Amino acid sequence: MTQNLLDSIEWQRNPLIPAIVQDHISGDVLMLAYMNEEALKLSLQTHLAHYFSRSKQRIWKKGETSNNLQHIKEIYLDCDLDTILLKVEQDGGVACHTGRKSCFFNRVDQAQEPEVILQENTKYSIFDTLYHVVQERKLADPKTSYVASLLHKGENSILKKVVEEAGEFCFAIKDNKEDDIVYEAADLAFHTLVALGYKNINPDRIKQELQRRFGLSGIEEKNSR
């Protein structure tokens, strides 16, 4: 029966299908993610939620970094055979990367303070954390947030800062002052992350590309493009 249901999903037409995630006891909606065929098979085999990250462009096991794993209790397929419902036990009680119980904490029909953060976001890499901060700042007031002000000004202003910081980094290298080199490199990395966030490109994609190139000669890498 399970295999028949899996075979009924038209993966060629819908290579990614939404996966709604609920707490198996309370019924609270924790998050929405996406699954491809491989992610669903892994979820069924391991009883741990696996998704396909559109920003990272790879299979992602929920909690692979934070250890906030999702233990699958029940899986349902909807009547149109193109949406999955997962009922899970959430480790740490935290589904959102912000440290909140649920990813749905931004109420838009009326003013309301966001849900309290249950855990500090200390288990993610600094690049992943900064990327998500950039995403959150898209909703922030440009008058109170530097990142929000950059995003509000748009692409040209963001790129101007990247070019400016790249130039200052180069001058620091020429001046051979180690502290200045580190400081300017951090500025360049930060503004590059803002530009990536503006385009919704997760820095994990950069890591994947560097891993792909590792062991290739420069000539081989160019020829592979």
pLDDT in tens, 145-175: 999 999 999 999 999 999 999 999 999 999 9
pLDDT of residue 115: 66
| Across 193-203, average pLDDT | 94
Bridge partners of residue 20, in order along the sequence: 32, 85
pLDDT of residue 132: 87
pTM: 0.72
Name the CATH topology of 126-217: Helix Hairpins (1.10.287)
User: Is residue 112 pLDDT above 80, yes or no?
Assistant: no
What percent of the chain stands above pLDDT 70?
89
What percent of the chain stands above pLDDT 90?
60
Q: Which amino acid is at 11?
A: W
User: Is residue 184 pLDDT above 70, yes or no?
Assistant: yes
pLDDT in tens, 5-46: 778 898 988 899 999 999 999 999 999 999 999 999 999 999
Does the structural domain 2-93 have CATH classification 3.20.20.70?
A: no
Question: Boundaries of CATH 1.10.287.1080 in the chain?
Answer: 126-217
pLDDT of residue 217: 59
Question: Boundaries of CATH 3.10.20.810 in the chain?
Answer: 2-93
pLDDT of residue 114: 65
- 203-210 long-range Cβ contacts below 8 angstroms, 24+ apart: 203/127, 203/128, 203/131, 204/53, 204/55, 204/56, 204/58, 204/128, 205/55, 205/56, 205/57, 208/56, 208/57, 208/58
pLDDT in tens, 81-101: 999 999 999 998 889 888 889
| Across 41-69, average pLDDT | 93
